Structure formats: C-alpha cells, structure tokens
Amino acid sequence: MINKLVIFGVGLIGGSLGLALRQANYCQQIVGCGRNAEQLQKAVDLGAIDSFSLDAKAAVRDADIVLLAVPMGAMPAVLEQIKEALPPTCILTDAGSTKASIVDQVTAIMGADYQQFIPGHPVAGREKSGVEAAVADLYQGRRVILTPTEQTDRQALAIVAGMWEVTGALVEQMPVVLHDQVLAATSHLPHVLAFSLVDTLLNMPQQEDILRYAAGGFRDFTRIASSDPVMWRDICLYNDHAILDMIQALQTNLGEFAALIREQNGDALHQRMTKAKQARDNYIARFEPPKSAGQH
C-alpha cells in the first residue's frame, strides 16, 4: 500500500497508472503535478488522480513515491524543482523510454550517491496521448522494465516493482545500456520509420492521390505516426546513438533489398521475405500475450 504517490505528467502513462492503482485500492492519495490546471482537473474528473498541485515542491511534500512521466526533455527541470523538497525516504522513479539519459540526469542533479532512484519504463502505450486516452488496464499483461544501477536501494526497487505488479504488469529487470539498445531496435526505430514514411509521402507531388488511395497496410504501418511528437522528438535526441546505429543497419538492409529488386532476383527476395515472415510469426506466437477484452 502506498500512502502518497505524486505523478508529474498525468497523461496516458501517468493517468493509466493512477486509474489502475485506484481501481486496486493500492494508494491512499494520488496527486498530480504539472503546469496546466485545466488538464489536471480533467485528470481528477476522470478519476486518474485525487487532487493536483501546480507547485512542484508542495506536491512532493510527504510523498512516498514520485513518478516522472513527463517528456524526457522536461525531466531535468522537474528534478531541479523537487530535489530540495523530496523527503529523505521518498522513492523517485520514472517512465521514460530511454534510461541512460535519465540516470545521468539524476546523478548530476541528485548526486552520485543517491540511492532512491529506480529507473523504469512501462512498455505499453497507444497512439493516442493525454489523460483522456488513459485506461486502467493499459499495463495488464504488458512488460515494465526496471533498470537498477549499482547505487539503487534494493528495498526501493522492490516497492516500485510491487506497484507496477498491482497494475497487472510483468516486471523485468535489465541493464541500462542493454535497455536503450533493445528499445532502439524494437520501438524507437519503428516510430522513426512511421514518421519518416508519412513525411516522405507528404513531400511527393502526387501526395493527394497516394493518401486518398492508401490501403490497410499504410494505415497499419503508420498508426504509430499519430503518437505524441514531443515525446518522440525527445526520445530521438536522448537515445541518439542507439537509434542512429539502428538506422544505419536498416539503411544497409534496405540497400540490399533495393539491389535484389534492381537485379530482378525473385528467388533471393522470396527467401528474405519468407525468413522475415517466419521470424515475426514465431515472435507473435512466443512473446505476445493474448489480448483480453478492452486491452490496448
């Protein structure tokens, strides 16, 4: 049981956590904090939080856990605001999609010996953003990756893991660097591709015809291009090295596909497509949890 949880950034991720914990009666008090009173009041009305504050220092007073669910670029400013006001026993965690950057920021702002920070990443989401898109079952059967460091307090780690498990999430641990490499390949690169494809089509002279006659494949592939541009801009900037490595690998592979098409090498194309299809089919069968009603 958590006495007081403070969520900075009550959008899809923070709002869904609030809804899940309230549904489980796991928090006595959930406080939202941000700069937009209208949006925070909406979060109260939707039941994602109990109350809100526009004052970061006042919000974290007596907090047991503070969750940073703001865009990556906004985290340093929040840390600077709350570092002197955090209770000594308060646990600080985050929901950012890149981990090395936030670990470095916390170390720089809170000190190299700070033990109460638990880096975390709920690998769940929707292409919609904002608290209006929040749902209580967003994390049901989904992975939450925690990336503790050598300084991490183990009791604090267990508390944060327990919080996420209450939401129905599958909690796993992973080294910071490995997390950023894996997510660059499985999440960050696909989003860059979706944004890039739409941007490419918008710059073509026949864009109106292309978009008018776009079929289901286009809609499926580019669905994630409807994601929050602010969040994904920050992810690209804060996990730049890993993402650039993946873009380079993809460019090499695309060049090989282009060469096979140019050479009219149908057999080789068929072999590579078959290999890719089988790999994806095996992944779906092994790792994708079955979706229950209402799961996203």
Give 231-254 pLDDT, tens digit per residue: 999 999 999 999 999 999 999 999
pLDDT band at 290 (very low <50, low <70, confident <90, very high): low
Which residues neighbour 68 within 8 Å (Cβ) at sequence distance 6 or greater?
8, 9, 75, 78, 79, 92, 93, 94, 95, 96, 102
At the fourth CATH level, the homologous superfamily of domain 2-174 is NAD(P)-binding Rossmann-like Domain (3.40.50.720)
User: Domain extents for the chain?
Assistant: 2-174, 179-287
- To the question of domain 179-287 being in CATH 1.10.3660.10, the answer is yes
Largest CA distance in the chain: 68
pLDDT band at 261 (very low <50, low <70, confident <90, very high): very high
Q: Which residues pair with 106 in a beta bridge?
A: none
Give 102-145 pLDDT, tens digit per residue: 999 999 999 999 999 999 999 987 777 899 999 999 999 999 99
Give 139-191 pLDDT, tens digit per residue: 999 999 999 999 999 999 999 999 999 999 999 999 999 999 999 999 999 99
pLDDT at 48 over 60: yes
**In contact, 154 and 36? CB cutoff 8 Å:** no
**In percent, how much of the chain has pLDDT > 70?**
97
Strands 51-53 and 65-68: unpaired
